[in-house]
Amino acid sequence: MTTIRIACLQTEPVLGAVQQNLADQAVACAEAIANGADLLILPECSTTGWAFESVEQAHEVAEPVPEGAACRQWLALCRDEGVHLVAGVVERDGDELFNTAVLMGPDGLIGTYRKAHTWALEKTFYAPGNLGVPVYDTPLGRIGMHICYDCWFPESFRLMAAQGADLICAPSNWVPVPTQRDDLPAMANLLCMTNAHTNLVYVAAASRVGADGDQPFIGQSIIVDHAGWPLAGPASGDRPEIIYADVDLIGSRAERHGNPFNQPLRDRRLDVYDEMLGSDHPAGEY
């Protein structure tokens, strides 16, 4: 496969309404596939909402991966339509809850990522991610995953880039930043752009709109190229929509890593710091 179409599905889930959210997702996914999408990306906690009022409420809507209702629906979609999908889900593993993203394809579950950097009220509900920052080989390219607040940590981007990631998918529920200026892009967008540029990777972030109770969300989903420039979006801040970008993840590798003047991965000072920043994930080829 060469050029693929990425679709970020900016949705408006209702807190706790799993079946309704799954039904709404199915409609949006069908639209994206009808428009030629090969890879669909859904927001963080896409089937449940995010701002739970209690641990008990979070447990009620959590599901095991990949046996739960949402995962079964996504797996069937990938199998029947021949697409890949990244989506955020509240995962239950024994007595622990994780804010999780899954990567699926026509042949089943490819990989799971658990949010490493929990934010605000999440610290009450979720165990910190314990799967590291893996990167997965797919027919589309090498794909890694982040969730929302993880994008504020440059180490996460760099560790995936050092493993040869072509694309980082970021299911998100971005919230307003109190000091955000109206004349500048959202901070989340700037972080995606900057880290794409400094790590030579594509970044596709699907956020959400609406509110959970008193907690609003800002949408502004975005797809960014390896130079840091938006290919699609930012999406609106107040309505569901789908943004698309056509990219060649595998075929672009030589261009991304062939700049004769500056090369952020090649030019690292590995005599000053460890190549993998202390992670036990193996470095990859890029």
- Tell me, what's the pLDDT at 1? 56
- Tell me, what's the pLDDT at 172? 98
Q: Which domains are seen in the chain, by residue range?
A: 4-256 (3.60.110.10)
- Tell me, what's the pLDDT at 280? 86
Average pLDDT, the chain: 96
- Tell me, what's the pLDDT at 203? 98
Q: Which stretches of the chain score pLDDT less than 70?
A: 1
Q: Which residues carry out catalysis?
A: 44, 115, 148
- Tell me, what's the pLDDT at 93? 97
Q: Which amino acid is at 97?
A: L
Distance CA 168, CA 205 (A): 8
Q: Are the C-beta atoms of residues 21 and 48 closer than 8 Å to each other?
A: yes
